[in-house]
Amino acid sequence: MDRAVRFALDARPAHRFITENLTTGDVYEAAVVIYLTRRLSAGALFVDIGAHAGYFACIAGVLGATVHAIEPQRPLITVIERNIELNGLDRVHPLHAAISDQDGMTGMLRLTSSPGLQVHGEFRNPDTPDPHNRHTDWVPLLRLDTLYDRLEIVPRVVKIDVEGMELRVLAGAEKLIAGGKTAFVIEIHPHLISRFQGRLMDIADRFAGDRWRVFDLSDRRGHTTTLAEGLAKAAEGTEAEDGRVTLAIEPAFWTGGPA
């Protein structure tokens, strides 16, 4: 990148995340940043699902990409908007919504502004969330195929960080995956997937065959791997809260690597 990316240090809903991760002097999620730098260019569409404070959204915007920053936590939308303004980005567009395998509405229990701790009502309550509960936020629920089939645009890269709902997001992106023109950067939370009735290895079923290649972006530089190896690595951390693994799954015909 030719310029630095700025973030509001006093943005209360994301204060802890920003101070702990973006003020250390190191590049947060360096391998993912390098990957985006190599895969995004002016005019490309980057979809940031679980955008939180807009960290990756703003980086992609500085790279010249058009960005859809999708975030279900209402207080964080204002943080994203503030960081967009700080960086003078006019192609980064926040969207207050949740991405899943169906369209409609979902209730989200307002627990805390800490990352990952505001959860879908369908997880907290097996029944329909109470529409009269003042702690429930109602959020549009959308499939990726609904969004981008109607818009007739193909995202270059989709980043997914949804705290265990990875499989539901992928289930709603069947057409996008079948099109074979989009890379998916997935932060896998193995200790949470089962809470949403998913199995870690089901991710492999979504990217079957030899049409894809995989990079492990969990360390600072990233390296080539296979989907089976990446998921096996994630399985080792199934019981650990910090056992996250980030994989980039991209069309096999693309050239170059993550580093």
Angle (CA) 126-69-135 rounded to 5° is 35
Give the CA count within 13 Å in the CB-facing half-sphere of 94.
23
Single out the residue of 163, 160, 215, 157 nearest to residue 186, CA to CA. 160
The band of 11, judged by pLDDT with boundaries at 50, 70 and 90, is confident
pLDDT (tens digit, 9 = 90+) per residue, 122-159? 444 434 566 677 778 889 999 999 999 988 889 999 99
* Sequence-distant (≥ 6) Cβ neighbours of residue 30 within 8 angstroms: 220, 221
Cα dist from 24 to 2, 55, 143, 220, whole Å: 20, 15, 36, 15
Could you tell me the CATH superfamily of domain 12-251? Answer: Vaccinia Virus protein VP39 (3.40.50.150)
Per the listing, tokens 């959860």 go with 119
Percent of the chain with pLDDT over 70: 88
pLDDT confidence of residue 119: 45
Residue 205 CB neighbour total at 10 angstroms: 10
Q: 178-197: buried (b, 16+ CB within 10 Å) or exposed (e) per residue?
A: eeeebbbbbbbbbbbbeebe
Side chain identity at residue 100, one-letter code: S
Has residue 239 got a pLDDT over 90? no
pLDDT confidence of residue 173: 98
Side chain identity at residue 229, one-letter code: E
- 83, containing H or E segment: helix 74-86
Tell me 190's DSSP state.
Answer: H
pLDDT confidence of residue 255: 86
Asked if residue 185 lies in contact with residue 214, where contact means CB atoms within 8 angstroms, the answer is no
pLDDT confidence of residue 37: 96
pLDDT (tens digit, 9 = 90+) per residue, 190-234? 888 888 878 888 999 999 889 999 999 998 879 999 999 999 998
Instruction: Supply the pTM of this predicted model.
Output: 0.90
pLDDT (tens digit, 9 = 90+) per residue, 68-111? 999 999 999 999 999 999 999 999 999 999 999 999 999 887 75
pLDDT (tens digit, 9 = 90+) per residue, 23-49? 888 899 999 999 999 999 999 999 999
Of residues 207 and 1, the one with the higher pLDDT is 207
